[in-house]
């Protein structure tokens, strides 16, 4: 066993075969998930236990309840993933776990469980940045993706444009100055009475609406900026609703949803195109929960094929929080020998900036 104060760095590679087998664990928000990935390409199992139904009555994720749910589900979810992959802990090369950003109580359940498992199995622990993992989800179906590329990360908590020069070498070009895109969609959905989670609800009802019915502003900020701002756009929707209410009018909800969705997509696409022009990158990766939005995908697809830019996005299952994206990111960290000490703690406010 390891000596005093030593971290998980000291352990040797997995024994019997040369396969690199990574168990990935994700508990940063409201999904408890685990996946077993072999050699970075062969996803042997993927289990996701979602808490969406539990949180629905509260209109959003309640941190303490999320932590309680993770606590009950982490062990069975991991065991299911191991059983489905037909591997034992002795077959694993390393265990990768999200340590931030996210809800601190939820993160701690995953970090504590993963740490104990890795320590008991005598294998390295890998701490994963959840944001990086969303982007790396693209490598699951595209292992041969070439650098450099540009990544557009859009989720309930984050809106980032990031330039990747190589594995682990990246630079944040722009991020949101207020609300994240997904957050704005959630808030507007709530105001329109569409429920939680908001993004998918907006997308659904927007299909019956006219995206040109309302003219909401597109906040593009200064001409040279790659940052985002969604709170003004969100307020425009709320103001429109309020003034209609004062006049005693009811507005067409599908039209409102479609128009707002269109405005958000226009800004995201506009900024992505601006960043591509500036960096000369020939590949764009889409990532995060909002990457599952059809309008965003279709618009990017059209704009990027016109510009001969390679467009990659994950299937919906890898867009929301999941263990497979943790495992694939863990695989690349494993190749780089980037392991965590046994003192690894949750980092709820972890950003991408510190990793450049």
Binding residue for another protein, selected from 24, 113, 124, 330, defined by CB under 8 A: 113
Does 227 help bind Zn ion (rule: CB under 5 A)?
A: no
Q: Is 31 in the site for Zn ion (CB under 5 A)?
A: no
Q: Is 344 in the site for another protein (CB under 8 A)?
A: yes
Query: Measured between alpha carbons, how far is 230 from 218 in angstroms, rounded to an integer?
Result: 9
109 touches another protein (CB under 8 A): yes
Burial classification of residue 280, based on how many CB atoms lie within 10 Å of its CB (0-12 exposed, 13-18 middle, 19 or more buried): exposed
Closest CA to 134 of 281, 346, 350, 324: 324
Tell me the site size for another protein, rule CB under 8 A.
Answer: 41
Binding mask 24-63 for another protein (x = CB under 8 A): ---------------------------------xx---x-
CB of 290 to Zn ion, least distance (A): 10
C-alpha to C-alpha distance for 163 and 174, rounded to whole angstroms: 10
Are 225 and 164 in contact by the 8 Å Cβ rule? The answer is: no
Interstrand relation of 169-175 and 21-26 (parallel, antiparallel or unpaired): unpaired
Q: Contact, 329 vs 338, CB < 8 A?
A: no
Give me the least distance between CB of 104 and another protein, in Å please.
8
Count residues near Zn ion (CB under 5 A): 1
Nearer to another protein, 250 or 343 (CB): 343
x-marked contacts with another protein along 62-101 as a string, rule CB under 8 A: x-xx-xx-xxx-xx--xx---------x------------
Structure tokens at 107: 């993160």
Binding partner of residue 111 among Zn ion, another protein, none, CB cut-off 5 to 8 Å per kind: another protein
C-alpha 248/C-alpha 262 separation (Å) is 26
Taking the least distance from each CB to Zn ion, the nearer of 103 and 276 is: 103
CB of 69 to Zn ion, least distance (A): 16
How near is the Cβ of 143 to another protein at its closest, in Å?
29
Q: Is 255 in the site for Zn ion (CB under 5 A)?
A: no
Q: Which 232-261 positions form the footprint of another protein (CB under 8 A)? A: none
Among 105, 157, 314, 330, binds another protein (CB under 8 A): 105
Residue 132 interacting with Zn ion (CB under 5 A): no
Q: By the 8 A CB rule, do 188 and 260 touch?
A: yes
Instruction: Name the packing angle between helices 231-246 and 253-279 (round to 10°).
Output: 160
Residues in Cβ contact with 123 at an 8 Å cutoff, skipping those fewer than 6 apart: 8, 11, 14, 89, 92, 93, 94, 95
Indicate which of Zn ion, another protein, none lies near residue 321 (CB less than 5 to 8 Å, by partner kind).
Zn ion
Burial 217-232 (b: 16+ CB within 10 A, else e): eebeeeeeebbbbbee
- Between CA 87 and CA 45 the distance in angstroms is 10
Choices 291-299, 304-312, 323-331, 341-349; region in contact with another protein by CB under 8 A = 341-349
Close Cβ partners of 33 (under 8 Å, ≥ 6 residues apart): 24, 25, 26, 27, 46, 47, 48, 49, 77, 321, 322, 323, 324, 326
Identify the residue among 15, 16, 250, 343 touching another protein (CB under 8 A). 343
Is 321 one of the binding residues for Zn ion (CB under 5 A)? yes
User: Which region, judged by CB under 5 A, interacts with Zn ion, from 61-69, 194-202, 308-316, 321-329?
Assistant: 321-329
**Counting Cβ atoms within 10 Å, is residue 119 exposed (0-12), middle (13-18) or buried (19+)?**
middle
Please tell me the distance from the alpha carbon of residue 24 to that of residue 329, in angstroms, as a whole number: 9
Interface residue list for Zn ion (CB under 5 A): 321
Interface ranges with another protein (CB under 8 A): 1-6, 57-58, 62, 64-65, 67-68, 70-72, 74-75, 78-79, 89, 104-105, 108-117, 119-121, 342-346
């Amino acid at each position: 066993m390891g000596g005093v104060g030593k971290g998980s760095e000291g352990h040797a590679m997995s024994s019997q075969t040369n396969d690199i087998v990574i168990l990935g664990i994700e508990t940063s928000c409201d999904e408890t998930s685990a996946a077993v990935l072999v050699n970075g390409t062969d996803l042997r199992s993927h289990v996701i236990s979602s808490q969406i139904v539990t949180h629905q009555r509260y209109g959003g994720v309640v941190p303490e309840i999320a932590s309680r749910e993770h606590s009950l589900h982490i062990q069975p979810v991991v065991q299911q993933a191991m059983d489905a992959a037909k591997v034992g802990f002795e077959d694993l090369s390393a265990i990768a776990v999200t340590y931030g950003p996210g809800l601190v109580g939820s993160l701690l359940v995953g970090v504590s469980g993963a740490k104990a498992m890795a320590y008991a199995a005598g294998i390295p622990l890998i701490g994963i940045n959840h944001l990086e993992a969303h982007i790396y989800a693209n490598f699951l179906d595209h292992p041969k993706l070439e650098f450099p590329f540009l990544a557009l990360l859009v989720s309930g908590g984050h809106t980032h444009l990031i330039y990747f020069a190589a594995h682990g070498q990246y630079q944040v070009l722009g991020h949101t100055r207020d609300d994240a895109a997904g957050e704005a969609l959630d808030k507007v959905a709530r105001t329109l009475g569409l429920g939680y989670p908001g993004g998918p609800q907006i997308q659904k009802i927007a299909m019956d609406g006219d995206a040109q019915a309302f003219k909401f502003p597109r906040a593009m900020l200064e001409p040279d900026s790659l940052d985002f701002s969604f709170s003004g756009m969100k307020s425009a929707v709320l103001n429109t609703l309020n003034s209609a209410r004062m006049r005693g009018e009811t507005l067409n909800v599908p039209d409102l949803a479609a128009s707002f969705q269109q405005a958000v997509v226009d800004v995201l696409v506009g900024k992505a195109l601006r960043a591509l022009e500036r960096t000369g990158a020939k590949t764009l990766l889409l990532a995060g929960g909002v990457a599952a939005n059809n309008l965003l995908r279709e618009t990017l697809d059209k704009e990027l094929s016109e510009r001969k830019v390679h467009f990659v996005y994950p299937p919906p299952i890898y867009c929301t929080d999941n263990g497979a994206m943790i495992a694939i990111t863990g695989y690349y960290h494993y190749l780089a020998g980037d392991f965590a000490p046994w003192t690894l703690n949750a980092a709820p406010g972890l950003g991408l900036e510190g990793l450049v």
